[in-house]
Amino acid sequence: MKVPVPVRHTWPHSIGLVALSAACLCFAEEGDSFEGLSVSGDNILQCANGYRDIDQSSTKKPGDYLTDYLNFDVQMRKLFLQGRFQIDQPSLGYDPSSPVFREFFSRRAVGFNGRNMTFKAGHFMTTFGRGLSLALKEDVTIERATILDGVFMDVHLPLLEIQGLAGRSMTRKVNTVSIDTDDYDEETGETIVIKLELDNPGYRDNIFGIDVASYPFSRFESVPLLSACAVGAGIVDYRSDVSAIKAGREIDTITIDSMGVADTTFVNRYYQNRKNTFLPSIHVELSTGSIDAYAEHARMLYRSHTFVDTLFDERIVDDAESYATYVSLGACFLDFSLMGEYKNYFYGKDNNQGCNVIVEGEYVEPPSARHRHIWQLLTKHVPANTVRDVIGYRLALDWSRFENATFALSYCCGGRHKNRQGRYSLFTFGNDENEDYWDIYLQSNLSIGSRFISKIGANYGKIDPYEPEARYATVGSKFDLGPFLKAHSVGLALELQRNSKEFRAERDSAAVIAVAGPYTPVDESAFDYYSDVPDELKSVHRQWTWNLVATASYSLSPYFAFSATLEKETPFFQGQPVLQSDVTSSDRYYRSVGIKVRPVENHSIQLEAGSYSGGQKCTLGECVMVPSFEGVRLSITSLF
């Protein structure tokens, strides 16, 4: 079955951008002659034996591996050639299932870099506004990036800033279609389990976007009230065509009747999803000496959305609409700094997003049901000693009365992204989770010179969507002691965090069923009722744990450095608080030692052994974002 929905190519847009760039080039540049060739870059060679991404079991890659990233930047006056030549051998062993040795240019771009404009053809990343309508970015800790392959133009003029792009996503090859659902029929006592994983032989997408920001008062820098005012607007046109033609060899529909007898059927299936999406956005910024405000609004309009699924005999041609809004306000008065943020994602009717709404059902004696629905809310907050997360409303107040001390208080409420990978999809729409969340956070930063730095934070709130009655409290502190000796730097960094949870199951509790489904606006009051729970199921259950990160370091700066890290992490159990048998709590230890030798200014050799939890790592006054790893790793970094 073919559904004739046109998916236009982006080459007309590309030609348009090239022409526009050429025009800008003629007027914006001074026409200097080409002089010499300049080459710079870095080369990172890693030989390792161990596991990559130890926190993500799906991408676990055991064994030896070798990677070499040669990042280069060749410049001839204002022309440049950038790229990354990547050699990737995920496994040097004899595992037949491991990928083969690969050599390829994983990043490549050519272009022109002038004082007023940049034009690039190849791979690129950019963000429109604060990223509501388009956000292309990279996170090395999870080895995930959203990159476009096409042409990109960025023009900086005194009164105007223009970004234009036309291309296609580089992640299109990894997409698969998978469905995994189960349903229980109370009347017949049957459980129907559907498991499906389709290869995805066809994926095409085309993206065109332009964002223009005007700084109308930037000429008047003597008037600070007006100079930092910007008004902008952007559009993104996204066309995707996903099809799994006969790729679904079979679908397993397993029906388990009330006697426990299973019946399996196999169904051939055709799946297709075509979407033409249009995202207009506007953003306004105003900054003065003591107040700054920013507002951005983006709409997602499915101008054409065709979804075909032969299994369910489903063919939907649908137009839907959703929007996202972000507002931030910052101000300072006396010694106080105030910041408020609000982000709201609202979905219209969309049959292919899924997982937008969590419906909670409860089944106890007597039967009861509960439905919870809140708006899609996202803002940012950094919990103590954990990786950066994107969650809830945010209101932050900082007090810096004293030179070496800062006190911060913040309040968050709302939802957050499904997971960190979810932030790295092409569009942020559809990658958040509807959660009822709030959190109050108090933090102090104290420093005595640069030898003693203390960061002490505590938060109290409700964070877990699957445990609606849970209260969560964290007291964390971070100390950076030393170095004690000047010639031979010896340092000790301690990070200590106490987490506690309290589960209150006094009113309701039992097996919570989370069902992912399409968004359907439902009157909350119609479902929001509870029933009495037997006394034996009522309980107040408390948990607490300590997390510790201790790093001892020695450096004969800048030529030799040694560090040893011990990290203990006790995760909270997953499951229902009243079902104690589900408790699967186990401590996790990360122990690592590392030696870094820097024989000359631009070259370093680093040997690491042990396990690393990944994320932000600070050793010897230096912070890097690292992916999680377990094993032995030798890295040679050369800057040229």
Partner 1 sequence: MMRPCIGGRTFISGALVGVAMLSLWPAAALDIGCAPDFTIRDIWGKTVDGAELYAHGVVMVDFWATWCVPCRPELKALAKIHKKYKNSGLTILTISEDGVEETAAVKQFVRTEKMPFVVIVDRNKQLMKLFHASAVPTLFLIEKGGKIRATHIGFLSGDEKKIEKEVASLIEEMGKNQAKETNKDAPVEGK
Of 36, 64, 38, 242, the C-alpha closest to 633 is: 64
204 versus 603: smaller Cβ distance to partner 1: 603
Shortest distance in whole angstroms from residue 7 CB to partner 1 = 27
Residue range at the interface with partner 1 (CB under 8 A); choices 261-269, 308-316, 517-525, 553-561: 553-561
Neighbours of 359 (CB within 10 A): 18
Q: Show contacts with partner 1 in window 397-416 (CB under 8 A).
A: 398, 400, 404, 406, 408
Cα 511 to Cα 181, 363, 465, 467, 576: the distances in Å are 17, 7, 14, 11, 7
Shortest distance in whole angstroms from residue 464 CB to partner 1 = 24
Q: Show contacts with partner 1 in window 186-225 (CB under 8 A).
A: 215, 218, 221
Strand partners, 182: 193
Using the CB atoms, write b or e for 400-411: b if 16+ within 10 Å.
Answer: beeeeebbbebb
158 versus 260: smaller Cβ distance to partner 1: 158
Q: Which two three-digit tokens encode residue 268?
A: 């051939």
Distance of CA 421 to the CA centre of its chain: 5
556 makes contact with partner 1 (CB under 8 A): no
Rounded to whole angstroms, the maximal C-alpha distance in the chain is 85
Cα 389 to Cα 202, 270, 346, 428: the distances in Å are 34, 38, 20, 14
308 versus 493: smaller Cβ distance to partner 1: 493
1 versus 600: smaller Cβ distance to partner 1: 600
CB 393 within 8 A of CB 379: yes
Q: Show contacts with partner 1 in window 64-93 (CB under 8 A).
A: 70-74, 85
5 versus 618: smaller Cβ distance to partner 1: 618
485 versus 515: smaller Cβ distance to partner 1: 485
**Which of 125, 311, 442, 566 touches partner 1 (CB under 8 A)?**
125
Of 125, 58, 139, the C-alpha closest to 417 is: 139
Shortest distance in whole angstroms from residue 289 CB to partner 1 = 9
Q: Show contacts with partner 1 in window 323-382 (CB under 8 A).
A: 328, 330, 332, 337, 339, 341, 380, 382
Contacts of 22 (CB under 8 A, 6+ apart): none
CB 368 within 8 A of CB 528: no
Shortest distance in whole angstroms from residue 550 CB to partner 1 = 15
Q: Show contacts with partner 1 in window 21-60 (CB under 8 A).
A: 32, 36-43
Shortest distance in whole angstroms from residue 570 CB to partner 1 = 23
**Angstrom distance (rounded) from CA 619 to CA 595:** 11
117 versus 198: smaller Cβ distance to partner 1: 117
Shortest distance in whole angstroms from residue 545 CB to partner 1 = 23
Peptide bond into 12 cis (omega under 30): no
135 versus 512: smaller Cβ distance to partner 1: 135
Residue range at the interface with partner 1 (CB under 8 A); choices 50-58, 354-362, 364-372, 593-601: 593-601
**Angstrom distance (rounded) from CA 218 to CA 159:** 6
Q: Is 160 exposed, middle or buried (0-12, 13-18, 19+ CB in 10 A)?
A: middle
Q: Show contacts with partner 1 in window 131-150 (CB under 8 A).
A: 131, 135-138
Shortest distance in whole angstroms from residue 429 CB to partner 1 = 14
With CB under 8 A as the rule, give the number of residues binding partner 1.
Answer: 89
**Which of 183, 558, 559, 585 touches partner 1 (CB under 8 A)?**
558
Task: Catalogue the E-assigned strands of 186-335.
Answer: 190-198, 202-214, 228-248, 252-256, 262-266, 269-287, 291-309, 314-318, 321-333
Q: Which two three-digit tokens encode residue 356?
A: 């937008």
Residue range at the interface with partner 1 (CB under 8 A); choices 5-13, 180-188, 356-364, 619-627: 619-627
Task: Sheet containing 190-198: give its strands across.
Answer: 177-185, 190-198, 252-256, 262-266
74 versus 235: smaller Cβ distance to partner 1: 74
Shortest distance in whole angstroms from residue 399 CB to partner 1 = 8
156 versus 372: smaller Cβ distance to partner 1: 156
* Three-state secondary structure readout of 517-569: ECCCCCCHHHHECCCCCCHHHCCEEEEEEEEEEEEEEEEECCCEEEEEEEEEE
What ranges in 228-337 are assigned the alpha helix state H?
A: none
635 makes contact with partner 1 (CB under 8 A): no
What ranges in 277-403 are assigned the alpha helix state H?
A: none
Shortest distance in whole angstroms from residue 287 CB to partner 1 = 5
**Angstrom distance (rounded) from CA 308 to CA 319:** 15
**Which of 46, 98, 287, 539 touches partner 1 (CB under 8 A)?**
287
239 versus 343: smaller Cβ distance to partner 1: 343
Strand partners, 126: none
**Angstrom distance (rounded) from CA 146 to CA 139:** 9
229 versus 550: smaller Cβ distance to partner 1: 229
Shortest distance in whole angstroms from residue 43 CB to partner 1 = 5
Shortest distance in whole angstroms from residue 26 CB to partner 1 = 18
**Which of 151, 396, 413, 533 touches partner 1 (CB under 8 A)?**
396
32 versus 536: smaller Cβ distance to partner 1: 32
Q: Show contacts with partner 1 in window 463-492 (CB under 8 A).
A: 478, 480, 482-483, 486, 489, 491
Cα 241 to Cα 97, 201, 205: the distances in Å are 30, 11, 6
**Angstrom distance (rounded) from CA 109 to CA 19:** 18
130 versus 168: smaller Cβ distance to partner 1: 130
Residue range at the interface with partner 1 (CB under 8 A); choices 300-308, 393-401, 468-476, 517-525: 393-401
166 versus 213: smaller Cβ distance to partner 1: 213
Q: Show contacts with partner 1 in window 222-241 (CB under 8 A).
A: 227-230
**Which of 321, 369, 603, 609 touches partner 1 (CB under 8 A)?**
603
Strand partners, 516: 358
**Which of 292, 318, 362, 502 touches partner 1 (CB under 8 A)?**
292
Of 518, 524, 516, the C-alpha closest to 183 is: 516
122 makes contact with partner 1 (CB under 8 A): no
Of 449, 453, 458, 450, the C-alpha closest to 478 is: 453
Shortest distance in whole angstroms from residue 605 CB to partner 1 = 11
131 versus 610: smaller Cβ distance to partner 1: 131
**Angstrom distance (rounded) from CA 159 to CA 536:** 70
Shortest distance in whole angstroms from residue 13 CB to partner 1 = 21
**Which of 191, 253, 445, 531 touches partner 1 (CB under 8 A)?**
445
